[in-house]
Amino acid sequence: MTGFTNREHLLSKMRNGEHLDWDIIIIGGGITGAGVLREARRRGYKALLVEQQDFSWGTSSRSSKMVHGGLRYLAAGDLKLTKESVQERQRLLTEAPGLVDPISFFFTFRKGKFPGRMVMKAVLTIYDFFAGSQDNRYCNNKELLERFQGLDDNKLQGASCYTDAMVDDSRLVLRVLQDSIDDGGYALNYTKVDDLVLTDGQVTGVSIEDRDHSSSILLNAPVVINATGAWADRLRNVVNSETRIRPLRGSHIIISKSLFPINDVMTFLHMDDKRGVFVYPWEGTTVIGTTDLDHAEDIDEEASISDQEVDYLLKAFNSQFPSNALKRNDVLSTWAGVRPVIGSEKSKDPSKERRDHVVWSDNGLITVSGGKLTTFRLIALDALAAARDYLPTAKEINDDRMFSTPNITAELLLSENTSWAQRLLGRYGEKAFELLNESSSDEQHNLDTTEFSLAECRWAIKYEAVEHLDDLLLRRTRLGMCLPNGGANLFPVLKELFLSNQKWGEERWQKEVTRYETIWKKYYSLPSNS
């Protein structure tokens, strides 16, 4: 099968009485839901995923883009979470090169500031032990100042260097979904669950909204998995009144790489609250993040950065790089995500809340929330384990790989540019070959300063369930975050792609441009009062 589930085709069949019965229905199209769908199909279950917005619309497109073990979890004594995270990081690096890539992290030391070199050495030794490799080392001032131009050398005492990984989080979701669909799964975006179906107090299915017919479609399943993240309490409260999710907002700012070009990650503690801050390269830009605050706004509305968070992140950067001091008008774009952290102690420092996941079983509704991007596979397995009593016998599997292995190498795919070829293979799997074949050579180059191409745009529009312009610019690619003014300079060429591949008319295109510009200005740029 090429591409994602044909949404209109499947809904039409449902309206006609087909595809109404499933083994598992998964609600939520982020990384947790995608992971559950993947593992469900590997075990032979008839599985459907539904998402009320776009795939990865919520937290899973707005993380810090890091696949890591979480040193602070180790420092807090959470050995189990750290070990699992480090081992899953290694798995992802092995299975998805080009999508999940290693990068060097540098944690700086300054005289009189905690933690010092010996403490970090002890922590990183345990970190390396979990990974099964000796990786960490000490970096002296000379090397550090060469790698990070403009770094303030006052009381600087070098840094600990170690390796973690980076990812395009939204593309990770899309890759997992595509492999799941290729394996016989189904996934629908922009499909809202109206309600759970209950029979004698037991969850036996869901009712989904049918926008085209102003009605609902009833779907049957012995188990429903609630993987809605920050929205988990809302759905769970249909059968259990307990409230356990503490939504926490993490925000980031993006600047042009030309303002501060780096190839590694700098991490240090903010002078105000001693929270870790990262400065890192991502998709041809430089990113500064993150914050960690209670999110009191409506979770149905996209999260956005506040003026206070902008000030906080600029202050952090400028304290380390005073000669490269940034101003608000240097900010290219922003993003903010809401983390579904398990905890209800509002008096507790958000940064001290645990980041592990929890699974609840309530009469056929399995709710899974919390956890880390890195451990999504383990989270999916725990959710399925909780659902086992409701399911038919699973198919035995001999391979625990999350990702399908492409039957083509980067050298064979594109010998003249193997690094880009590997990037495509990581992001699209074997479909990278089709992607290139369906595009012209002039579409196969980087757009501006980014690492994205028109070839990827064409593919996404045609095969990846793009319903709106923002799906393409903010999630299928990240062009809207990496280019000035949300990538408005690309509108003429994108218009041609949409009109030819989506059969949009001029009126629809203009509506989509207006919709996109509204979204970008409100949620991906500086606050309007800045």
Contact 207, 224 (CB under 8 A): no
pLDDT in tens, 264-307: 999 999 999 999 999 999 999 999 999 999 999 999 999 999 99
Q: What percent of the chain clears pLDDT 90, i.e. is strictly above it?
A: 85
pLDDT at 333 over 60: yes
Share the mean pLDDT of the chain.
Answer: 94
Distance CA 227, CA 235 (A): 10
- Tell me the sheet residues that pair with 294: 248
pLDDT of residue 63: 96
pLDDT of residue 385: 97
pLDDT in tens, 341-366: 987 555 566 665 665 789 999 999 99
Q: What percent of the chain clears pLDDT 70, i.e. is strictly above it?
A: 96
pTM (2 decimals)?
Answer: 0.96
Neighbours of 343 (CB within 10 A): 16
Give 132's pLDDT tier (boundaries 50, 70, 90): confident
pLDDT of residue 80: 84
pLDDT at 1 over 60: no
Q: Which helix (H) or strand (E) holds 523?
A: helix 506-523
pLDDT at 69 over 90: no
Going along the chain from its start, the domains and CATH numbers come out as 7-59+170-244+355-390 (3.50.50.60), 101-166+246-352 (3.30.9.10), 438-523 (no CATH)
pLDDT of residue 353: 60
Contact 28, 229 (CB under 8 A): yes
pLDDT of residue 2: 79
Of residues 128 and 391, more confidence is placed in 391
Q: Are strands 186-188 and 47-50 parallel, antiparallel or unpaired?
A: parallel
Distance CA 325, CA 260 (A): 10
pLDDT of residue 344: 57
Distance CA 175, CA 183 (A): 12
The average pLDDT across 86-100 equals 95
pLDDT in tens, 369-409: 998 899 999 999 999 999 999 999 999 888 889 999 999 99
pLDDT at 36 over 90: yes
pLDDT of residue 11: 96
Distance CA 466, CA 459 (A): 10
pLDDT at 367 over 60: yes
Burial 20-39 (b: 16+ CB within 10 A, else e): eebbbbbbbbbbbbbbbbbb
pLDDT of residue 351: 60
Helix 79-95 and helix 376-387, axial crossing angle in degrees, nearest 10: 110
pLDDT of residue 349: 63
pLDDT of residue 411: 97
pLDDT of residue 75: 66
The average pLDDT across 127-155 equals 93
- Tell me the sheet residues that pair with 285: 256, 282
Contact 274, 398 (CB under 8 A): no
> How is 388-432 classified by DSSP, letter by letter?
GGGSPPPPP-S---SSPPPSS-HHHH-TT-HHHHHHHHHHHTTHH
